[in-house]
Amino acid sequence: MTAITLADVIAYATANLAADDYCVSCEADNFAEFTFDDFIGFDDDWCEEYRDFTDEEAIDNFLAYLDEHAISAPSRCGMYPEWTFDGFVIRIAYTSYDI
């Protein structure tokens, strides 16, 4: 495991993820939340509609990058998984969770 910084994670995301697939929704000195945009809106019956990611493989690779470098990696089954690194935490969220 190679030690990385919060800036490294943000740089990796910027270089590898499609801009319309995510945003850094919260950032502080020791924390960042990446929100993946999987929500379009509601249909006429108020059922949620989801969008396909522009590059789902890049998102999978980003999550694997977090797994590879984290001190502690969560089960990906949780709603807001967090990866712990030396000195900072990364949380993943989805727009469909926040509606």
Q: Per the domain annotation, does 19 fall within a domain?
A: yes
Q: Per the domain annotation, does 10 fall within a domain?
A: yes
Q: What is the CATH number for 39?
A: 3.30.460
pTM exceeds 0.75: yes
What confidence score (pLDDT) does residue 54 get? Answer: 92
Spatial distance between the Cα atoms of 22 and 93, rounded to a whole number of angstroms: 9
What confidence score (pLDDT) does residue 67 get? Answer: 93
Domain region containing 14: 6-98
Q: Per the domain annotation, does 1 fall within a domain?
A: no
> What's the total number of domains in the chain?
1
- Half-sphere exposure for 85 (CA within 13 Å, toward CB): 24
- Does the structure show a pLDDT above 90 at 9? yes
Q: Per the domain annotation, does 68 fall within a domain?
A: yes
What confidence score (pLDDT) does residue 77 get? Answer: 67
The per-residue DSSP string of 33-96 comes to: EEEE--EEEE-TTS-EEE---TTHHHHHHHHHHHHHH-SB---TTSSS-EEEETTEEEEEEEGG
Spatial distance between the Cα atoms of 52 and 7, rounded to a whole number of angstroms: 27
Q: Per the domain annotation, does 51 fall within a domain?
A: yes
